[in-house]
Amino acid sequence: MDTHPAPHASHRSGRLLGADDVAELLGVSRTFVYALARRGELPTVRVGERYVRFRSEAIEGWIEAQESHGRRRYS
């Protein structure tokens, strides 16, 4: 009996997301996600020279930070 977790199940919270995943999560376009990343407003992980990914915890933290900014601005 194999007691090792499946590769996709282990470290689920450390999952790297693509721009399409982040766009869906935020309810915005993939182009906007890349624009935020280029401006340094969205935390990214470079994978080689060609790929940009987004760590799920970092995106969740970014969302929480945006919520707190909104409360201060609109309350």
CATH code at position 56? 1.10.1660.10
Does residue 62 sit within a domain?
yes
Q: What is the pLDDT of residues 23-67, one digit of tens each?
A: 999 999 999 999 999 999 999 999 999 999 999 999 999 999 998
Among 66, 65, 63, 36, smallest CA distance to 52 is for: 36
Does residue 7 sit within a domain?
no
58: containing domain? 14-74
Domain total of the chain = 1
Q: pLDDT band for position 14 (50/70/90)?
A: confident
pTM to 2 decimals?
Answer: 0.71
Look-up: residue for tokens 């995106």? Answer: 59
| 18 token code pair | 């693509």
Per DSSP (E only), the strands in 1-75 are 16-17, 45-47, 51-55
